[in-house]
Amino acid sequence: MIHGDNTLVLLLAGGVGSRLNVLVQSRAKPAVPFAGFYRIIDFSLSNVMNSGLTQVGVLTQYKPLSLMRHLGTGEAWDFTGRTRGVTILPPRTGFQDSDWYKGTADAVRQNIDFIRAHPARETVILSGDHIYRMDLDDLLRFHRRKEAQVTIAMMVVPLSEIYQFGAGITNSEGRIVEWEEKPKVPRTDLASMGIYVFDTEYLLRLLEEDREEVDFGMHLIPKAIERDNVFAYPFHGYWRDVGTVQAYWEANMDLLKADSEISPQAWGIRPNPYADRLEVDRCPARFIEGCVVEGSMISAGCVIEGKVVNSVLSPGVRVGKNALVRDSIILHDCVLEEGAVVDLAILDKRVQIGRGAVVGQGEDKGMPNKACPKHLYTGLTMIGKEAEVPPQTVIGRNCVVTPSRKAGDFPSLVIATGETI
């Protein structure tokens, strides 16, 4: 194992994440709940812990409070002690908005003093919004074996998806010889996962050369490839960037497959249940006589009287008599009253669905959401935190109900497909 003291980890957790719509109106993207009682950032933090690395800086920016509360002292991931630690690194905001992080490289550049204060042979840069398991110790060994200045974790993706990624063309030794950031016409199917290892002194030199270069994929990586040894670390396994509503829903649904590639428990992924006292005080889930549960994940504290099919329920969800949940993600402490239907939807925390109401009405996916057509276009409907859907209301496909909406905010009992309240 690479000794943890020789490596510093920087975890980028500051992106706005606006493509997750109502899920990020009150929280940072890495703090979004996932798989019942985890949060997205738990996967990256647990990978760090399981790889024996001990010094972590978490770069925050957008709505950081829930994320900071979740991280706490780092004790949940064993980051406490004389030689261990997790440090929250907010932006160095001055008098202007322009002092905020302009990109991934700019975020790291603004924390050069933190890097210098934690001398390390290598610096690992991770993203806080990916669902995956990776042995970072193996990545570091690969980096040293290749005598690389930079190593980028990369995986094969379908050519139709490569436009979303940085793409690398490698030689027979695995060295990256050409780079294209989000290419429209792909020449390779090798995609960057946004996971980098830099020799620390090399990283500091690169950051100090040109302060106008604000992004790793757009600026620093292409420059390094032109001049120095940049290698592709081949990753084989499950990995998903859950930065969109569709990807977030699909990753949760992947959990439920009989041959699922995601197994947070087997992967050693740790949540922090103590960040919210309620999480450790939940009683076991209760399944009332006559209920039906098929192919679903049900968390502690849930009470199921109705039917739940192919869905993920976070702690404390109540599904009333004759209510139906199908193909949905229901976050903490939501209540579905008697006869309510939630079909192909995402409900944020503490949503109340009134008696006989329907969320997700319609046989096909219908028209995309009018306000956010790139967020909701496959039939998914989203209900924001603490919203209350009145009894007997019928909501169509690709709809959004923004947080804290009450009965008086609904113009009628029928909300057409594609509408936003």
Cα 180 to Cα 222: distance, rounded to the nearest angstrom? 8
| Count of structural domains, the chain | 2
Q: Which domain holds residue 289?
A: 282-415
State pLDDT tens for residues 307-348: 999 999 999 999 999 999 999 999 999 999 999 999 999 999
Could you tell me if 306 and 214 lie in one domain? no
State pLDDT tens for residues 364-383: 888 999 999 999 999 999 99
Could you tell me if 118 and 231 lie in one domain? yes
State the average pLDDT over residues 39-59.
94
Any domain includes 18: yes
Helices (H), 26-111: 41-50, 65-71, 104-109
Any domain includes 369: yes
Contact 245, 375 (CB under 8 A): yes
Could you tell me if 208 and 353 lie in one domain? no
Contact 40, 34 (CB under 8 A): yes
Any domain includes 28: yes
Cα 50 to Cα 297: distance, rounded to the nearest angstrom? 25
Could you tell me if 240 and 186 lie in one domain? yes
- From 216, 237, 254, give the residue that closes a domain: 254
Using pLDDT thresholds of 50, 70 and 90, give the confidence band for residue 95: very low
Distances (CA, A) of 68 to 102, 166, 261, 360, 397: 21, 30, 29, 34, 34
CATH number, domain containing residue 386: 2.160.10.10
Using pLDDT thresholds of 50, 70 and 90, give the confidence band for residue 222: confident
Any domain includes 291: yes
